Structure 1
Amino acid sequence: FIADMAGAYEWADLVVCRAGALTVAELAAAGRPALLIPLPHAIDDHQTANARFLASQGAAELLPQHGLTSDDLTQRLIVLFSNPEMLQQMAVNARQQAKPNATQDVVQACQEVAHAR
């Protein structure tokens, strides 16, 4: 457990984590590259979908848990930390996915629907 997630994201050069919706949103807001290991038994495999999205945007890499070994993870970490330009570009790509006004956008959409009735 990390009480100060904002602080943890701030000092992290790369995040290794699951791919729940809130985590993915936090990664984007913080502009942090990630190695995403989706929880394989999540309902409707939604974590894999979340991870695929960030990976498709060049903000993360998806590592399926099935068959993943510590050697596999170590090799990906070596590759990424050996390429700071790649990590920086992944961070930029992550930040571009952020939706800082999401709450306001949802409220506005709801109001538009309500007024259309």
Structure 2
Amino acid sequence: MEQQIHDDMMHAACTRVAQLLLAGKPDQQIVNDLLSRGIDNATAWALIARQKAVIQEHKAAKAKKNVSLGALWLVVGLVVVVATFLSSSAVGHYMATWMVVWGTILFGCIQMLSGLGQLLSAQRSVE
């Protein structure tokens, strides 16, 4: 029973640390908040370090997902362009129609570049 109470208190402390970190509060303020909740100083600093790592991993995963999805949209757009160009060339008409899907290509580029920026930012904050 005592272990369950300790686990619940630590879970609540981790949640509180994450909330305060995401709100931009300074580390010392978070430590003071945890000290007032009965968490010792060493544990408070360890919780902050662990939650920073968790947040960092989450940001990096989100950035990688954006890079991947952006690349996918870009490739899909380019495949449509190439496929319609090749099929129009196969017809042999000089003025054949082929499709350029600017929206898909542009969206893919923007999402991929945004993800790369997020990934670089996440890596810089670790160093």
Output the TM-score relative to the length of structure 1.
0.31
- In our comparison, the structure showing a higher alpha carbon Rg is 2
Pick the structure with more strand per residue. 1
Pick the structure with more helix per residue. 2
